């Protein structure tokens, strides 16, 4: 249906570029970081809302598409504008364009708690070493000594 409207396909890249630039501006207005200037990357979390805005702009900018202008699409575009406004007022955070330095998973040189058969098991002498290499320390140092 949109392909039949003259000039509709030519409008889509321009609408998309305008909305991306607007969203990037609102992210910067909120004080959040973006990737390199001149790129058109946006955070993944706002892509659906950006598409809602582009869709509504396209439907309202072309004649003869009254049947496609539904209340649900209008509400989605209004909600998307509210979200971008909330981002610019720092009410909603956006994801960083670069991954964090410390990954959220437990990759801080930790070892497996269960030793599997493919891993060498250290001998008892290296498992329980004391400072003076005499005897391993007791779990209860105030308890009676072995005889």
Q: pLDDT, tens digit, for every residue of 78-134?
A: 999 999 999 999 999 888 877 666 555 555 555 556 656 666 666 666 655 556 656
Nearest to 55 by CA among 125, 2, 97, 117: 2
The reported pLDDT for the residue numbered 144 is: 74
Q: How confident is the model at residue 62 (pLDDT cuts 50, 70, 90)?
A: confident
Please provide the average confidence, as pLDDT, over all residues in the chain: 78
User: What distance separates the 2 farthest-apart alpha carbons in the chain?
Assistant: 99
Among 28-32, 66-70, 110-114, name the one with the lowest average pLDDT: 110-114
Cβ atoms within 10 A of the Cβ of 19, count? 20
The reported pLDDT for the residue numbered 82 is: 96
Burial grade of 92 (CB within 10 A; 0-12, 13-18, 19 or more): middle
The reported pLDDT for the residue numbered 12 is: 82
Q: Regarding predicted confidence, which is higher, 48 or 13?
A: 48
Please give the model's pTM, rounded to 2 decimal places: 0.61
Burial grade of 65 (CB within 10 A; 0-12, 13-18, 19 or more): middle
Q: Report d(CA 16, CA 14) in Å as an integer.
A: 5
């Amino acid at each position: 249906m949109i392909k039949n409207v003259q000039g509709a396909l030519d409008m889509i890249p321009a609408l998309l570029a305008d909305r991306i630039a607007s969203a990037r501006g609102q992210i910067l207005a909120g004080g959040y970081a973006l990737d390199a200037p001149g790129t058109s990357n946006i955070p993944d979390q706002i892509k659906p809302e950006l598409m809602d805005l582009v869709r509504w702009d396209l439907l309202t900018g072309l004649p003869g598409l009254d049947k496609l202008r539904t209340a649900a699409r209008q509400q989605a575009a209004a909600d998307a504008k509210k979200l971008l406004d909330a981002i610019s007022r720092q009410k909603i955070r956006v994801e960083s364009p670069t991954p964090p330095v410390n990954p959220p998973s437990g990759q801080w040189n930790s070892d497996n708690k269960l030793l599997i058969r493919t891993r060498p098991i250290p001998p008892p002498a290296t498992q329980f070493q004391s400072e003076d290499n005499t005897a391993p320390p007791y779990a209860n140092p105030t308890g009676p000594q072995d005889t």
